[in-house]
């Protein structure tokens, strides 16, 4: 037997020629394959859970038509064929938080406003006359008592119901106003701010007669 050692040589590694993969890597077909697997798994679980009755087979969803330009798509290269396709994208379901209870209502004590003062109407007088019959009336409101003070209309505006205030003035402690009466109005109310000595409002009411001459009856009340 010879002492010479046999020298071995390494042969070149022979790999099979790469072939295009028949598995589609489009997201649409991967999604369809995933849905078929879920349907099959659901059918197997239903058959194992119900041993007495045979569940009806669940048919897989029908194949959707292939996407456009499928025929003109070039086959994947060897590098693309050996690349592992990415997993389908899963959408996380947002967690719904239960509504938070509303805080208990809070209450606060509010001092009520005092009622308006009641003026001594026996000391208040009001005079009216037509400037233009049936359209414009002149009203003068005054007081004979120092306890009832009328307010200046420029600082405390007047208000009218049944007409529109044309002019207003304050002279010698009296309120002078001219009111344009609304057509066919039978009553006009002029609100005059005053103090007795607290704040108050006097309601000067004019009742107009519909007969010729349009006679006016005037009364004064507290609001």
What pLDDT is recorded for position 210? 84
What pLDDT is recorded for position 203? 93
What pLDDT is recorded for position 162? 93
| Token couple for 206 | 């004019």
What are the beta bridge partners of residue 207? Answer: 187, 217
| Token couple for 26 | 């489009």
Q: Spell out the per-residue pLDDT of the chain, length 223, in tens.
A: 556 667 777 778 888 887 766 665 678 888 888 888 888 888 887 766 555 555 566 665 566 666 555 545 555 555 555 555 555 555 556 677 777 777 776 666 666 666 667 888 889 999 999 999 989 999 999 999 888 999 999 999 999 999 999 999 999 999 999 999 999 899 999 999 999 888 889 999 999 998 888 899 999 998 7
Domains of the chain from N-terminus onward: 27-81 (no CATH), 121-222 (2.60.40)
Output the pTM of the full model: 0.49
In the chain, where do the E strands start and end? 124-132, 136-143, 149-150, 159-161, 163-171, 174-181, 187-195, 199-208, 216-222
At 191 the three-state DSSP class reads strand
What pLDDT is recorded for position 4? 67
Contact 204, 190 (CB under 8 A): yes
What pLDDT is recorded for position 60? 59
Cis peptide before 197, with omega less than 30 degrees from 0? Answer: yes
């Amino acid at each position: 037997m010879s002492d010479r050692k046999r020298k071995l040589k390494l042969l070149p590694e022979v790999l099979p020629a790469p072939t295009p993969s028949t598995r589609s890597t489009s997201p649409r077909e991967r999604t369809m394959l995933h849905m078929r697997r879920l349907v099959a798994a659901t059918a197997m679980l239903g058959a194992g859970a119900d041993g007495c009755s045979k569940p009806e087979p669940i048919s897989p969803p029908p194949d959707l038509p292939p996407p456009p330009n499928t025929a003109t798509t070039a086959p994947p290269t060897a590098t693309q064929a050996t690349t592992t396709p990415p997993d389908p994208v899963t959408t996380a379901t947002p967690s719904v938080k239960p509504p938070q209870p509303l805080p208990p209502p809070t209450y606060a004590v509010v001092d009520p406003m005092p009622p308006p003062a009641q003026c001594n109407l026996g000391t208040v007088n009001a005079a009216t006359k037509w400037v233009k019959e049936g359209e414009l009336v002149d009203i003068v409101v005054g007081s004979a008592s120092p306890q009832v003070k009328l307010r200046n209309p420029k600082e405390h505006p007047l208000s009218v119901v049944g007409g529109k205030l044309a002019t207003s003035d304050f002279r010698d402690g009296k309120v002078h106003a001219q009111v344009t009466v609304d057509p066919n109005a039978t009553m006009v109310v002029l609100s005059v701010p005053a103090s007795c000595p607290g704040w108050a409002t006097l309601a000067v009411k004019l009742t107009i007669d519909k007969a010729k001459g349009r006679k006016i009856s005037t009364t004064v009340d507290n609001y």
